[in-house]
Amino acid sequence: MSDFVVLANLAGVACFFCIGLYALISKANLTKIIIALELIGKSTTLCFILGGFANGETGQAQAIVFTIIVIEVLVAAMALALAIMNKRTHGSIRIEKTVREKAEEAVKAK
């Protein structure tokens, strides 16, 4: 694989990471934030695969990627469970409402 192809793939991975980071920062819906975290995780796994391929160590890269995928699944499941609990507790999956309610509780407590 030529250097140009590796750099083009790396640029695609960087764009994928930036899209996930932008979605993570700009969204207030917990479900969309979880999807953004998954995008960032997938771009990381693609970067590991690309690096392993470029160095000729695809076996080691695949082992690391399998571990990352398992961790991503666990993190996504836990985050979705917390989002469901937030929905049941506060009636919304938007962050602003939850933060506003917590701030009002803190003001009342003083």
Summarised one tens digit per residue, pLDDT across range 17-31 is: 999 999 999 998 999
pLDDT surpassing 70 at residue 59: yes
Domain segments of the chain: what residues?
3-109
- What does the alpha-carbon distance between residue 100 and residue 30 come to, in Å, rounded to a whole number? 15
67-95: pLDDT as tens digits = 999 999 999 999 999 999 989 988 888 88
- What does the alpha-carbon distance between residue 36 and residue 47 come to, in Å, rounded to a whole number? 17
The mean per-residue pLDDT over the stretch 55-75 comes to: 93
- What does the alpha-carbon distance between residue 95 and residue 83 come to, in Å, rounded to a whole number? 10
Question: What class has domain 3-109?
Answer: mainly alpha
